[in-house]
A and B are shown apart, each in its own frame.
Chain A
Amino acid sequence: MNEIILNISNIDMEFPTPKGPFTALKEVDLKVQKGEFVSLIGHSGCGKSTVLNIVAGLHQATRGGVVLNGKEVSSPGPERAVVFQNHSLLPWLTAYENVELAVKQVFKKTKSKAEIKEWIEHNLQLVHMDHALHKRPDELSGGMKQRVGIARALSMQPEVLLMDEPFGALDALTRAHMQETLMEIHNELKNTVIMITHDVDEAVLLSDRIVMMTNGPAAKIGEILDVKLERPRNRISLAETPEYSKLRHAVLSFLYEKQRKIETIPSRTQDESEKKQLADKVAAA
Chain B
Amino acid sequence: MSSTLIHKLGNNTDIPTSVIAFVTNAFQQVVIPILGIFVFLVLWSFAAKNIETSLGNFPGPGEVWKQFGGLYSEHITEREKEEAFYQRQEERNAKKLAKNPDYIAKKRKYTGKETFLDQIITSLITVMSGFFLAAIIAIPLGIAIGLSKTLNTAVNPIIQIFKPVSPLAWLPLVTMVVSALYVSADPIVPKSFINSMITVTLCCLWPMVINTSVGVASINKDLVNVSRVLKLPPLSHIRKIVIPASIPMIFTGMRLSLGIAWMVLIAAEMLAQNPGLGKFVWDEFQNGSSNSLGRIMAAVLVIGFVGFLLDRAMLQVQRFISWDKESATR
A residues engaging B (CB < 8 A)? Answer: 56-58, 75-78, 80-82, 84, 86, 88, 90-92, 101-102, 105-106, 136, 156
Contact = CB atoms under 8 A, between A and B. Distances in A.
B228 interface: yes
Max chain A Cβ within 10 angstroms of own Cβ: one of B229, B240, B241, B247: B229
A88 B231 contact: no
B323 A92 contact: yes
Nearest to A56: B229
Contact of B229 (A80, A86, A92): A80
B229 A78 contact: yes
15 contacts: A77-B231, A78-B231, A82-B225, A84-B222, A86-B222, A88-B222, A88-B225, A90-B226, A90-B244, A92-B244, A92-B324, A101-B230, A105-B230, A106-B230, A156-B230
B165 interface: no
Contacts of B323: 91-92, 136
Interface string B227-243: 01111100000001100
A81 B241 contact: no
Nearest to B244: A92
Contacts of B230: 78, 101-102, 105-106, 156
B48 interface: no
B32 interface: no
Contacts of B26: none
Contact of B225 (A58, A75, A102, A156): A58
Contacts of B244: 90, 92
B324 A76 contact: no
Question: Is chain A's binding surface mostly helix, strand, loop or mixed?
Answer: loop
A101 B240 contact: yes
Contacts of A76: 225, 228-229, 231
Given A91-B324, A92-B323, A58 B226 contact: no
B226 A88 contact: yes
Given A88-B220, A91-B323, A156-B230, 8 more contacts: A58-B228, A77-B229, A77-B231, A78-B230, A82-B225, A84-B222, A101-B240, A105-B230
A115 to B, nearest CB: 19
Report, as a range, how many residues of chain B touch the other chain.
10 to 19
Contacts of A80: 229
A177 B324 CA distance: 30
Interface of B: 220, 222-223, 225-226, 228-232, 240-241, 244-245, 247, 323-324
Contacts of A75: 228, 231
A162 to B, nearest CB: 9
Nearest to A81: B229
A169 to B, nearest CB: 13
A164 B245 CA distance: 23
Nearest to A86: B222
Nearest to B232: A105
A207 B134 CA distance: 57
Contacts of B232: 105
A106 B247 CA distance: 26
Contacts of B223: 88, 90
Contacts of B226: 84, 88, 90
Contact of B241 (A58, A77, A84, A90): A90
Contact of B231 (A58, A91, A92, A105): A105
Those 10 A-B pairs whose CB atoms lie nearest each other, nearest first: A92-B323, A88-B222, A76-B228, A92-B244, A76-B229, A105-B230, A84-B222, A88-B226, A82-B229, A77-B231
Contacts of B231: 75-78, 105
Contacts of A78: 229-231
Contacts of B222: 84, 86, 88
Contacts of B229: 56, 58, 76-78, 80-82
Nearest to A84: B222
B230 to A, nearest CB: 5
Contacts of B324: 91-92
A63 B214 CA distance: 35
A244 to B, nearest CB: 34
A102 to B, nearest CB: 6
B34 to A, nearest CB: 37
A133 to B, nearest CB: 17
Contacts of B241: 90
A56 B228 CA distance: 10
A105 B232 CA distance: 7
Contacts of A136: 323
Nearest to B228: A76
Nearest to A105: B230
Contacts of A88: 220, 222-223, 225-226
A80 B231 CA distance: 11
Contacts of A105: 230-232
A15 to B, nearest CB: 16
Contacts of A90: 223, 226, 240-241, 244-245
Contacts of B240: 90, 101
A136 B245 CA distance: 14
A81 B323 CA distance: 26
A102 B244 CA distance: 17
